[in-house]
Amino acid sequence: MNNYPIVIVDADAIIASENAGDFHHQKTMKILERLSVLHAQVLYPTTAIAEAATHMQRVLGDTERAYNTVMLMTKFETQVVDVGKQTLVEALKFFSPKTSKKNTIFDCIVAAVARREKADAIFSFDRFYKKNGFTLAEEL
């Protein structure tokens, strides 16, 4: 049994890592370096990958970057976590009709994956996770 931290990655961290112009890019690169030093097990929910690629394509207008990001996630040692019905059921514990429009079902799925995987942290800049008792990767 290893004692390496388990970290779940949210879409905002994926976007920031792939976009040098992103406000969080430099901080993201430092966090990624730290996670490497810690030998963290970094997990990417399929929904976070899809959300990041959609943002790159629709908001940033960069379909090529969106495609390349998804391609990268299918190669190398990237650990992609499937999201199924049970994860969606668990996500509802973080989601309600009164949930802020900033905290989407995608965020709730990341939280559910983090809980299921007994994650040590979530790699995101979204304070939603802190409010729900999770540690952010920048705190590791």
Summarised one tens digit per residue, pLDDT across range 69-78 is 999 999 878 8
Q: What is the pLDDT of residues 76-87, one digit of tens each?
A: 788 999 999 999
Q: Spell out the CATH class of 6-139.
A: alpha beta
Cβ contacts of residue 5 below 8 Å, gap of 6+? 35, 38, 40, 41, 120, 121, 140
Q: Where are the domains of the chain?
A: 6-139
Per-residue pLDDT tens digits for 23-71: 999 999 999 999 999 999 999 999 999 999 999 999 999 999 999 999 9
Strand partners, 80: 44
Distance CA 25, CA 117 (A): 26
25-37 vs 11-18: helix axis angle to the nearest 10?
110
Tell how many helices (H) and how many strands (E) occur in the chain: 7, 4
